[in-house]
């Protein structure tokens, strides 16, 4: 029943997409607006199909319908309700199903939003592109990654449940959907970029259409990445929130190119420059989401996130190659129309700073991509095994991060076209003092080392610059000084700065230890005292929990746990964190006390400022929401820059 | 207001700021040993070694039995007075590709070199293209068509007829 329902949904979605492409193309060819307007109806069919499949899958999980192979492999009668819902995206096929549902959702919203302009060829081609992406994903689910494969369960069979790591924390229910809302959201600006190239309307019109969509997708991707980091921190138990794992890198890559795009698009809107570059960035962002899916789903890289291998890999890689080929081909074909109308007058200007920003972000993305695929390339060419791990990424990205902080300090005060030294000295006066203040405070709190102090100083510099901008805007506009792209963007900057400073602090001043403690004994790490009181075991439906009570600094008691899952026999620790704005103390059990050896193995990690990562992430999301609201509309005839070096404008 | 403005232009204020900053950075450049009986050095070494039986985790980050073995081996060698490099080499000789830092010699060193070359080349290209553009002089003169567009827009604005400030600049 569930299987039939799910397959029907998939076929409905695939059929709807194929028909929609045919109908819109015919409409375009024969100039029949009535046919082109049918795209909206078809988008509802696709969404209906996707929703039906997801409903069938959820129903199967709730009913523990083991006649579905996917449920038999990833469901279990003992999985708690919330994680039962989240089980759908705990492995390959189901996560592609979630992808399909979100894609169909975006499709319907686009078709609805542009319902009055469906006969416009730009919108028609954008819809064709989106329907084509739907064809790929629903086609994939009907072939290589079918979530509704049948299964003949033995009587009394019970599934193993999802990977224990994935049913250990509530964030697992939110991190993947957020991430996918971000990933899939980039399909919309990509579709419009392709439409602009196909129709030859490569001016600034399509940019304005997709500006908010990009920001929306970017906001969700940001939230998804931060929640993922939070999940690692809370679950993995060694104080790590970012392991430069290939799959984490795969989510960072589109974020980097997307961030570069959000900045460089402003140069195109204002000055008509960087057209090829912006189109390339959007196409790169979308291709990187596909490459990310390939890296995650095909099993080519070893990672805590990677799902099992299958024939999905080559198909995804093929789709990635197709997307890249189409994008490059179209940009090459339209090259003559993409010449920019303006040019940069001085490197010391807003557009110059955006250009520098883009070079740095592109370098960042390049380093991450190279580090991720390098071991694969080396193994394929020379047969050698080598690892490119966190030490490489930290060393390479530190100068990049510091440069970005410096740019965040200088760029917001720069005017368009040209800046003078006098103007810079005037506008950077207060930011320079906040920079000095930040270093002073850090030194007084005992921070040492040039690199972290540089990070704190530049962080203070950038924060001063962002605050100055917000203060000026609110002085002029009141509460509206917080909304709109420029001001909201400054709020996002504040969040980024918090994260940057927190990263520098927590990585540089981390302190940890591993202890074997008998009841009543204490351990000391970085000025904190931890006393092991006692432990007990608890029987839960799907696992046995060992719970140790630890008294921290003679005050409150924390209880890290060690879970042994009955079905898989895996042992997964659940760390306990004493979090504060100053520092976090993470406690994680390494070995359980036994009859013969009653001492507890305890790992303790103390890191300063980790909480500021999550606060910074929240502020970034708030800033993105503020940016989505329309700010004060600038009259296009108001001068925003120095006069153009054009000799005369005759009346 | 004017005074403050003048103050911000004075070079000695900025020099003072610079001097304070340099003094602060210099005074705190050394690293201080952390207190307590923590194993910071042990974990700093462990973080550079891949956990060979885990996926995507370092010896410092894993709770697997093999990682615990590796950590006790590191701790043993530390007590014997071996340096960080000696300990890392010990593991590198026994397990292929176990170090998370790519090598600085051989084919593997490309991963360090390529980004530097690419970024330098990109920066040079950018500077060069900016220089060429600027030497080409100001953009083309506005045509009479452009000017009439500007005039219409200005006239519209004066008559207050403009209702929406966003313009679509589609060149279709």
All structural domains of chain B with their residue ranges: 40-94, 103-135
Mean pLDDT taken over chain A: 88
B171 to chain A, any CB pair closer than 8 A? The answer is: yes
Domain B40-94: CATH superfamily is Cytochrome C biogenesis protein (1.10.8.640)
Are A220 and A107 in a shared domain?
no
Top-confidence range, A516-520, A568-572, B12-16: A516-520
The predicted model gives A429-447 an average pLDDT of 90
What radius of gyration, in Å, describes the C-alpha atoms of chain A?
27
Q: Predicted ipTM?
A: 0.81
Among residues 3-22 of chain B, which lie with CB inside 8 Å of chain A? 5, 8-9, 14, 17, 20-21
Residue whose C-alpha is closest to residue A87's, from A101, A108, A73, A100 = A73
A77 and A148 belong to one structural domain: yes
Q: For residue A635, tell me if it sits in a domain.
A: no
- pLDDT of the residue at B164: 43
- The verdict on A110 and A94 lying in the same domain is yes
Identify which of A200, A510, A590 has the shortest CB distance to residue B68: A590
Based on the fold, state whether residues A307 and A404 are members of the same structural domain: yes
- pLDDT value for B170: 38
Q: What is the per-residue DSSP string for A544-594?
A: EEEEEEEEETTS-EE--EEEEETTT--EEEE-EEE--SSEEEEEEEEE---
Record the pTM. Answer: 0.89
- Residue A637: inside a domain: no
pLDDT of A467: 94
- Indicate if A133 and A217 belong to the same structural domain: no
Q: Would the CB atoms of B169 and A201 count as touching at under 8 Å? A: no
Give the count of Cβ contacts less than 8 A between chain A and B: 224
Both tokens of A499, joined, read 């994260």
Q: Are residue A239 and residue A367 in the same domain, yes or no?
A: yes
The nearest CA of chain A is from the CA of B76 a distance in Å of: 14
Quick one: closest CA in B to A246, which residue? B56
Query: Which is it for the CA torsion B18, B20, B21, B25, positive or negative?
Result: positive
Residue A458 and residue A376 share a domain: no
Q: Assess whether pLDDT exceeds 80 at residue A578.
A: yes
**In the prediction, which pLDDT does A215 show?**
93
* A650 in a structural domain: no
What pLDDT is stored for residue A377 in this prediction? 85
- pLDDT tens sequence across A17-44: 999 999 999 999 998 989 989 999 999 9
Identify the pLDDT of residue B135.
60
Q: Do B171 and A384 touch (CB under 8 A)?
A: no
Q: Same domain, yes or no, for A306 and A248?
A: yes
B143 touches chain A (CB under 8 A): no
- The domain in which residue A366 lies consists of 165-413
Q: Is residue A642 part of a domain?
A: no
**In this predicted structure, which of A276-280, A360-364, B36-40 has the lowest mean pLDDT?**
B36-40
Nearest alpha-carbon partner for A209 in A230, A190, A236, A231: A190
B-chain CB neighbours of A386 within 8 Å are 97, 102-103, 108
Q: Give me the mean pLDDT over the B123-150 stretch.
A: 72
A515 & A470 share domain:
no
Same domain (yes/no): A96, A182: no
Judging by DSSP bridges, how do beta strands A561-565 and A576-578 pair with one another? unpaired
Q: What share of chain A is helix, strand, coil (3-state, %, to 5)?
A: 65, 10, 25
Residue B25 and residue A453: Cβ atoms within 8 Å?
Answer: yes
- Counting the structural domains of chain A, the total is 4
Model confidence at A550, pLDDT cuts 50, 70, 90, reads very high
| C-alpha distance from residue B75 to each of A55, A254, A272, A503 (Å) | 53, 40, 61, 27
Do residues A10 and A92 share a domain? yes
Identify whether residues A149 and A169 lie together within a single domain. Answer: no
């Amino acid at each position: 029943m569930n299987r039939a329902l799910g397959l029907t949904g998939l076929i409905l979605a695939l059929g709807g997409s194929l028909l929609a492409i045919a109908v819109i193309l015919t409409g375009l060819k024969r100039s029949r607006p009535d046919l082109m307007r049918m795209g909206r109806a078809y988008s509802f069919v696709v969404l209906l199909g996707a929703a039906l499949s997801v409903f069938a899958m959820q129903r199967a999980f709730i009913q523990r319908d083991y006649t579905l192979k996917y449920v038999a492999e990833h469901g279990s009668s003992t999985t708690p309700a919330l994680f039962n819902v989240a089980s759908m995206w705990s492995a390959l096929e189901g996560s592609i199903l979630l992808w399909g549902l979100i894609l169909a959702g975006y499709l319907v919203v686009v078709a609805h939003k542009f319902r009055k302009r469906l006969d416009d060829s730009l919108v028609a081609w954008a819809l064709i592109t989106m329907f084509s992406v739907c064809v790929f994903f629903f086609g994939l689910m009907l072939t290589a990654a079918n979530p509704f494969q049948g299964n003949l369960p033995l009587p009394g069979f019970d599934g193993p449940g999802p990977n224990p790591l994935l049913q250990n924390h509530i964030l697992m229910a939110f991190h993947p959907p957020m991430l996918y809302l971000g990933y899939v959201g980039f399909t919309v600006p990509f579709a419009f970029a392709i439409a602009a190239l196909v129709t030859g309307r490569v001016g600034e019109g399509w940019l304005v259409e997709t500006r908010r969509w990009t920001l929306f997708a970017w906001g969700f991707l940001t939230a998804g990445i931060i929640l993922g980091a939070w999940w690692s921190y809370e679950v993995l138990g060694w104080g790590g929130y970012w392991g430069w794992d290939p799959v984490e890198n795969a989510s960072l890559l589109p974020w980097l190119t997307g961030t570069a795009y959000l900045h460089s698009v402003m140069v195109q809107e204002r000055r008509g420059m960087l057209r090829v570059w912006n189109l390339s960035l959007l196409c790169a962002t979308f291709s990187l989401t596909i490459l990310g899916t390939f890296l995650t789903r095909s099993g080519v890289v070893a990672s805590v996130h990677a799902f099992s291998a299958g024939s999905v890999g080559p198909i995804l890689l093929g789709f990635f190659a197709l997307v890249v080929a189409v994008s490059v081909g179209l940009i090459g074909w339209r090259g003559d129309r993409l010449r920019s109308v303006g040019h940069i007058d001085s490197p010391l200007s807003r557009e110059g700073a955006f250009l520098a920003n883009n070079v740095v972000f592109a370098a960042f993305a390049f380093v991450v991509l190279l580090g991720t695929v390098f071991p694969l390339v080396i193994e394929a060419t020379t047969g050698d095994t080598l690892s490119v791990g966190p030490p490489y990424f930290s060393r390479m990205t530190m100068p990049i991060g510091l440069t970005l902080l410096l740019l965040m300090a200088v760029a917001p005060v720069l005017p368009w076209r040209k800046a003078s030294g006098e103007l810079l000295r005037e506008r950077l006066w207060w930011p320079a003092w906040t920079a000095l203040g930040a270093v002073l405070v850090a030194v007084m709190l005992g921070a040492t080392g040039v690199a972290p102090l540089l990070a704190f100083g530049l962080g203070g510099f950038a924060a001063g610059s962002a605050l100055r901008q917000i203060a000026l805007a609110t002085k002029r506009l009141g509460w509206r000084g917080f909304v709109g792209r420029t001001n909201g963007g400054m709020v996002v900057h504040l969040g980024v700065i918090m994260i940057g400073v927190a990263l520098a602090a927590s990585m540089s001043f981390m302190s940890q230890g591993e202890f074997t403690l008998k009841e009543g004994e204490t351990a000391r790490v970085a000025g904190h005292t931890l006393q092991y009181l006692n432990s007990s075991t608890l029987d839960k439906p799907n696992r046995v929990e060992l719970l140790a009570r630890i008294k921290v600094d003679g005050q409150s008691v924390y209880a890290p746990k060690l879970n042994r899952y009955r079905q898989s026999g895996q042992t997964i620790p659940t760390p306990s964190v004493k979090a504060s704005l100053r520092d976090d103390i993470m406690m994680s059990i390494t070995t359980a006390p036994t009859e013969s050896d009653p001492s507890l193995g305890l790992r303790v990690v103390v890191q300063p400022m980790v909480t500021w990562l999550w606060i910074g992430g929240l502020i970034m999301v708030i800033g993105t929401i503020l940016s989505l609201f329309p700010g004060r509309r600038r009259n296009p005839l108001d001068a925003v820059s120095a006069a153009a070096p054009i000799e005369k404008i005759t009346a | 207001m004017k005074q403050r403005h003048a103050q911000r232009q004075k070079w000695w204020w900025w020099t003072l700021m610079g001097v304070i900053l340099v003094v602060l950075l210099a005074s705190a450049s050394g690293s201080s040993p952390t207190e307590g009986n923590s194993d910071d050095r042990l974990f700093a070494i462990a973080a550079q070694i891949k956990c060979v039986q885990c996926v995507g985790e370092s010896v410092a980050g894993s709770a697997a039995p093999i990682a615990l073995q590796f950590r006790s081996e590191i701790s043993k060698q530390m007590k014997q007075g071996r340096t960080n490099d000696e300990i890392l080499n010990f593991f590198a000789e026994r397990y292929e590709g176990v170090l998370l830092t790519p090598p600085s010699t051989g084919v593997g060193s490309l991963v360090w070199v390529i980004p530097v070359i690419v970024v330098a080349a990109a920066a040079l290209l950018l500077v060069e293209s900016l220089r060429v553009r600027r030497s080409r002089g100001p953009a083309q003169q506005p045509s009479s068509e452009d000017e009439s567009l500007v005039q219409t827009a200005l006239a519209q604005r004066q008559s207050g007829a403009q209702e929406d400030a966003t313009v679509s600049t589609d060149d279709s």
